[in-house]
Structure 1
């Protein structure tokens, strides 16, 4: 079944392990011995509710999620959470500070790429409080307009008591990611935040969830991630929400907060064990199979080591291509993503030759996002080190051919 598959380096929906897909295909006909396919079975059945509970367990144990945080499952992807986090955390802030006016409520946004820019725009569109851009990385880019870096810690300007502080850990479009080492200049500046309070810190982990441990996880109020990068197909969104952020949104509305649709309320999801309405049954099933597969391989420790190796190999191949004036990195040193390596191919028609040549060798999904162009290599968990080595062999061959042509 898997022999005719190509290598999918696309940014999402992305590659999934072939063994998982084969098992999922069996489940489409017969889920866990029920005689009913997973796409047909009731989400209230004991078999499916047990599967959801196990999915939560797998995430909690592998990410070491503390009991202070709930794990919830919803729909709408990261984009829906651009709105939901605003509504839920503004409701929390209203309950904590009922006498503040809307102008006195502030939401902080760290803008380091296309997705965090969209999140900030959505917060502004929704209104109800002020949006403070704590830092915008374009100011520190090589051309003054690109997202190609993580700004210096000294440049962040956080508000004294914001309703939320948002950042995107990995920018899928721009290939920019925060370092996970606190000592690095490109890490997220946790040390600048008020450690004497329950931080309203919101992190978008959509394109890097379950690829390695999450630093300072317990300091976060909300972590959200679409499943369609590392752990499943599109249609499932995973939330890790601190208990104090699961608030009575109706009580907040009575105090003047914006009413929240029930399906976007974290309290609704929590009280119903993520089953208020029919969830994305098939994506939940496949995500569970992926996480079981991940555990069998050694969990996040295994993937952290493997993903580091894959990224280092690709960045080294791009560096060598730069020496030959064939390739050019788009991201400044220290800010490159492990999951999405972006670069340009220099010369007239060279980018198209690169893509066509890769496709002839059964490697697809390498074209950069339409908004920025170039090449994007997505190295999600299902891409093995052997897959990466095949791509690197192609890059090296391409660079050699191009350099010989231009010399």
Structure 2
């Protein structure tokens, strides 16, 4: 069977050239005579490869030496817990005598994943959860995540929160922060506390390596599951400012919650991400993707290509909307470059659209079960030519 075009939300498409190279590595990694899924994670060949992966991330995103790059497991969902535990431990060391209710955890809620993150913070306790803004409040029905909030809607807790969390791209809901600082849909960095090392946490799981990260050096933690733009599920990439690599056991003696060692950022950093066995095969494939990315021009290259791809799909949606066939689910200016979400109008129309796409060799476009509709994921491995195939199908559909 020939390969289809995979518009799936994740695990998502990978470049075919990478898959072909990875297949060779499954049998013989770097001339060792041992397959990558069999080799010791402490072998000199694999540790050298890990160092290369870290270097590729650092160079392409311009990560400063003030930040460590860590490679771990558990996906973004595990980081919903880890960022709370590690940054509350940091806050405890900085302010040992504060009661828990005076340790604010600021959360910007713009979609399903930031809602999961704030729910986990409430479940773990140890601080006072403050919802800085919930974008549902400005939606037409009061219940939809359909836009990035206006800057004047944000209400940060004060000068010394334990953390400030946001999700840069909400892949289920199709909203994303703009990289243009003058846009009302940009993240309001100017409203953050001044004259301090801000504990800013960015969830970049569904947009990592798709374009530059604005003000990366101002972040305390950036995390990303690999399974969107980088590689297979199983690897999580962390960029952690070094003042957040704290002694969690010392914090626990002062009353902070105990942090499992495999979730403690200092443990990962002190052991070069090798405290326990890493996700060897996903890490290998991710390294091959990052090598290819560097050859193509890195995040600046992908930013241009991804914008062209998204513009084509949004244009087709708007054209179909004018004909009463499609309905965009996100407000103008807040749409994601990675996840284009829309409805197909009419009884049975959505099923017809999905089945027609599959018959034409395109899969993975059905929306998330929680919101329905259509979701087109335009991650890095989706080419402009593949996007053109989808756009042609969309136009044929609403021309019927």
- TM interval, short-chain normalised: over 0.9
**Which residue number in structure 2 is paired with residue 82 of structure 1?**
80
Alignment of structure 1 residues 40-51 onto 2, 5 Å? 40-51=38-49
C-alpha deviation, 1:33, in angstroms: 0.2
Deviations, residues 28-66 of structure 1 (Å, cap 9, x unaligned):
000000000000000000000000000000000000000
Secondary structure at 2:392 match in 1: helix
**Which residue number in structure 2 is paired with residue 139 of structure 1?**
137
Distance in structure 1 (CA, Å) of the matches to 2:322 and 2:35? 54
Distance in structure 2 (CA, Å) of the matches to 1:250 and 1:165? 23
C-alpha deviation, 1:296, in angstroms: 1.2
Q: TM-score normalised to the size of structure 1? A: 0.98
Moved more, 380-389 or 193-202: 193-202
Of residues 33, 45, 48 in structure 2, which corresponds to 1:35? Answer: 33
Distance in structure 1 (CA, Å) of the matches to 2:300 and 2:338? 16
Of residues 5, 8, 18 in structure 2, which corresponds to 1:7? Answer: 5
Q: How many residues align?
A: 399
Alignment of structure 1 residues 268-347 onto 2, 5 Å? 268-347=267-346
Secondary structure at 1:108 match in 2: strand
Distance in structure 2 (CA, Å) of the matches to 1:218 and 1:334? 26
Alignment of structure 1 residues 96-245 onto 2, 5 Å? 96-160=94-158, 161-245=160-244
Distance in structure 2 (CA, Å) of the matches to 1:367 and 1:118? 22
Distance in structure 2 (CA, Å) of the matches to 1:390 and 1:382? 15
Secondary structure at 1:370 match in 2: coil
Deviations, residues 379-403 of structure 1 (Å, cap 9, x unaligned):
00000000000000000000101xx
Distance in structure 1 (CA, Å) of the matches to 2:381 and 2:162? 37
Distance in structure 1 (CA, Å) of the matches to 2:254 and 2:330? 46
Distance in structure 2 (CA, Å) of the matches to 1:128 and 1:58? 36
1:21 and 2:19 matched: yes
Deviations, residues 214-248 of structure 1 (Å, cap 9, x unaligned):
00100000000000000100000000000000001
Distance in structure 2 (CA, Å) of the matches to 1:293 and 1:158? 40
Distance in structure 1 (CA, Å) of the matches to 2:2 and 2:290? 25
Distance in structure 1 (CA, Å) of the matches to 2:191 and 2:249? 33
Secondary structure at 1:4 match in 2: coil
Distance in structure 2 (CA, Å) of the matches to 1:286 and 1:73? 13
1:68 and 2:30 matched: no
Which 5+ residue runs of structure 2 have no aligned equivalent? Answer: none
Distance in structure 1 (CA, Å) of the matches to 2:140 and 2:293? 39
**Which residue number in structure 2 is paired with residue 247 of structure 1?**
246
Distance in structure 2 (CA, Å) of the matches to 1:120 and 1:299? 32
Which 5+ residue runs of structure 1 have no aligned equivalent? Answer: 402-407
Distance in structure 2 (CA, Å) of the matches to 1:18 and 1:101? 54
Deviations, residues 170-208 of structure 1 (Å, cap 9, x unaligned):
001000101111110011100001231100000000000
Deviations, residues 290-324 of structure 1 (Å, cap 9, x unaligned):
00011111111110100000001100000000010
**Which residue number in structure 2 is paired with residue 53 of structure 1?**
51
**Which residue number in structure 1 is paired with residue 382 of structure 2?**
383
C-alpha deviation, 1:103, in angstroms: 1.1
Distance in structure 2 (CA, Å) of the matches to 1:155 and 1:348? 37
Q: TM-score normalised to the size of structure 2? A: 0.99
Distance in structure 2 (CA, Å) of the matches to 1:259 and 1:60? 31
**Which residue number in structure 2 is paired with residue 404 of structure 1?**
none
**Which residue number in structure 1 is paired with residue 89 of structure 2?**
91
Deviations, residues 332-389 of structure 1 (Å, cap 9, x unaligned):
0110000000000000100000000000010000000000000000000000000000
Secondary structure at 1:225 match in 2: strand
Distance in structure 2 (CA, Å) of the matches to 1:399 and 1:287? 38
Secondary structure at 2:88 match in 1: helix
Distance in structure 1 (CA, Å) of the matches to 2:382 and 2:195? 41
The runs of 4+ residues in structure 1 deviating greater than 3 Å are none
